[in-house]
Chain A
Amino acid sequence: MTAALKVVAPGLHTTVQDLGRYGHQAFGVPVSGTLDAASHRLANRIVGNDENAPTLEILFHGPTLELIADSVRVGIAGGDAEIELMGDRPRSLGGWRSVMLRRNQIFRVSRLGDAACCYLAVEGGFAVERCLGSASTYARGGFGGLDGRALRAGDALPLASEQATERAELGLAEPPQSSREWPIRIVLGPQQDYFTEAALKSLVRDEFVVSKQSDRMGMRLDGPTLAHRDGYNIVSDGIATGAIQVPGSGQPILLLADHQTTGGYPKIATVISADIPVVGRRKPGDPIRFIAVEVAEAERLCREAEADFQALVANLAPLRPTGELDASRLFEANLISGVVFDEL
């Protein structure tokens, strides 16, 4: 049998994603890819993969998986998510780190805490076919990832590698600071002139809340309605990830990874690229406050966010084993003597 992770329970919405499907937007194909690229990239770095290797994007509630292979190294990054080994006495192996698992071990991803999403990478990557250059799942279009859909119980996710390599586990000593309260930086436009002065003021003054009516396509924002100056239909134009479009209701929609490539509602502002992962991990009920910046500042903040990410990667350090006692390996490594063992 081919090496795989068998899906015991799929979680709420677990999909294969990478950094996105580029080059086909002119044909109406959305970019898709991860909601929180920073955590996805880190999960890959934790297991020594290329940053674009496909990971599992886990939304709100994690899956339970069984390893059908000799061994695999998995990495988890995002929120408070930890790998939990199932069995008579389930126990946590920690988060923001890699863990080695053995054949037929069953594990699950625990509660995500204050993040909407987290990422599970496997050393060597998942062996899913690339579709238009990307492994990302676009569920609405029914393509990419595993059969173009979210995981279901009974699925077998093929692994590229049969066995984990021999090396120390990597992880962060401290999880990154929660970004739940961070303000979200935006650049006004491209159609800010379609809105009243009051709407533009309200956008950067008032608090919005992520609505329950949110998915990978977009996040509806509850809060003040944003009034149009005259009319809310524009001749369709292009959409960038992070665009905040405002339909006739005046309730803004922040467009995320699976957004349409074009649209006919005016966009009052666009979230800067540095803050796309930050907004991607917000959950329904979370607050959002916007701060307007200029394009040049957004570009500087993008470089700064990239430097911060590289610093995080540089902080990945070898970790002590996860506490799983493996007497034969300890003997081989000459770490315990028979005498000590007797005393135990």
Chain B
Amino acid sequence: MAVKFLPSADSAVIVEFGDRIDRAVSDQVLGLAARMRASEIAGVIEVVPTFRSLMVHYDPLRTSAKELVGAIERVSTSETAPDRKRRLWRVPVCYERDFAPDLESVAQETKLTPDEVIALHTGTRYHVYMIGFVPGFPYMGDLAEALVLPRRADPRVRVPPGSVAIATTLTAIYPLESPGGWHLIGTTPIRLFDVHASQPALFAPGDAVEFEPIDAVTFATIQTATERRAYRPASTELSA
């Protein structure tokens, strides 16, 4: 699919690479985001990567859509691609009954046992496609095919923070209490968004995430340490 430039009035240009959730499309989006951040084009306020497009917010008093599209085209074809720093995060998740309100129903709907659901969920390394919906909410994929389910018919008004959820081909963690229609199969004691941290969101688009099962006792220990800001999940730098 050819790259499309779509206007959002006179305040943003969307650079659209595709119309589906796809790793190759995501790599194009994140590649352009890195190039844009490295090049500091005049009038660009910020760039927001999504599954399939990069939204470029701009100041119409400092540039125009026409100039901007030209600059984006030059940046995207320039020889030097900046290093994309990516991290692999290991996220502890408690999948025990009290921490996983929808694990049973997911097992039933997928014709698996709860243990098989957990094994499939922890057996995949996920890609952080984008962050949106609420501050710090990571959309990650792709789920093992056997776990793919539509969203719940009956969305919850309140999903507790730390809930680990699945829906369609994706998995996510709710950073704050919010409404939500995904299936809740576990809970993590870690904090995904802390407005007082130098980098408020733990994950960045492009990072990788693996889930590790923990029991309720470990959950409580990590939760206490997290509240004292004395715990950070393990992570390692990945080469691009």
Residues of A within 8 A of B (CB): 22-30, 131-132, 140-143, 186-187, 189-191, 234-243, 260-263, 267, 269-273, 295-296, 298-299, 301-303, 306
Contact = CB atoms under 8 A, between A and B. Distances in A.
B214 to A, nearest CB: 26
A240 B61 contact: no
A114 to B, nearest CB: 25
A306 B60 CA distance: 11
Given A26-B205, A28-B193, A260-B134, 15 more contacts: A26-B131, A27-B136, A28-B131, A132-B200, A234-B19, A237-B55, A240-B9, A240-B11, A263-B132, A267-B8, A272-B10, A298-B9, A299-B10, A299-B64, A303-B61
Given A28-B136, A141-B195, A238-B53, A299 B60 contact: yes
Contact of B10 (A30, A191, A239, A273): A273
A241 B45 CA distance: 13
Contact of A261 (B8, B132, B195): B132
Interface in B129-175: 130-137, 139
Interface in B5-63: 6-12, 14, 16, 19-21, 33, 45-55, 57, 60-61
A27 B16 contact: no
B82 to A, nearest CB: 15
Interface of B: 6-12, 14, 16, 19-21, 33, 45-55, 57, 60-61, 64-66, 130-137, 139, 176, 193, 195-196, 200-201, 204-205
B61 A241 contact: no
B50 A187 contact: no
Given A235-B21, A235-B51, A23 B11 contact: no
Contacts of B11: 240-242, 270, 273
Contacts of B60: 273, 298-299, 302-303
A229 B47 CA distance: 30
Nearest to A193: B6
A234 B18 CA distance: 11
